[in-house]
Amino acid sequence: MAHGPRIERKSRRQHNGTTKSGYCTTIETSMIRGPRDENLEYAILKIIMGWPATEGKHQAHWGDWEKSVRRLVFHQFTQSDLKSAFKRLCRRNVVCLTKAGFQPYECSDNEREEEDFFFRGDPFNATITDEGRSH
């Protein structure tokens, strides 16, 4: 039986320079472990569904999406890896991607269209679909 990504509590040491000698504190962080591709998709969904008030919608520029995902995913990844994760979720009808002035993103492999949609201009929106809510 396949299981989804595992969330692991990981402690890391951080220097707190509030005193002359300084001291260390332990900070708990949640990291997603498992196959990288699944982790990226799971992190995107976690961001979209993260706040009840957003009702399954999140809007951000590419750099903000990338920073948010990096805080959640244990593995190193590239912009291409993250873009592919968005496209996989879109193709499987788990999320709908939209941007002001654009039709809903069709998850094509057109490089120019991808550049314009993901990396230029206004932020883009990711909205969970009815299919996506079942994940």
Token pair 């994940």 is found at 135
- Average pLDDT score over residue span 98-117: 84
Q: How confident is the model at residue 24 (pLDDT cuts 50, 70, 90)?
A: very low
Structure tokens at 126: 């990711």
Quick check: pTM over 0.85? no
Cα separation, 44 vs 77, in Å, equals: 14
The structural domains of the chain, with segments of one domain joined by +, span 35-133
Strands 57-60 and 95-99, bridge-based pairing:
unpaired
- Would the pLDDT of 14 be above 80? no
- Average pLDDT score over residue span 27-36: 53
- Residue 75 CB contacts under 8 Å (≥ 6 apart), including other chains: 36, 39
- Average pLDDT score over residue span 53-76: 91
**Per-residue pLDDT, 77:** 93
Cα separation, 96 vs 135, in Å, equals: 15
Q: How confident is the model at residue 110 (pLDDT cuts 50, 70, 90)?
A: confident
**Per-residue pLDDT, 21:** 42
- Considering the domain delimited by 35-133, tell me its CATH architecture: Orthogonal Bundle (1.10)
Residue 134 DSSP class? T
Cα separation, 64 vs 97, in Å, equals: 16
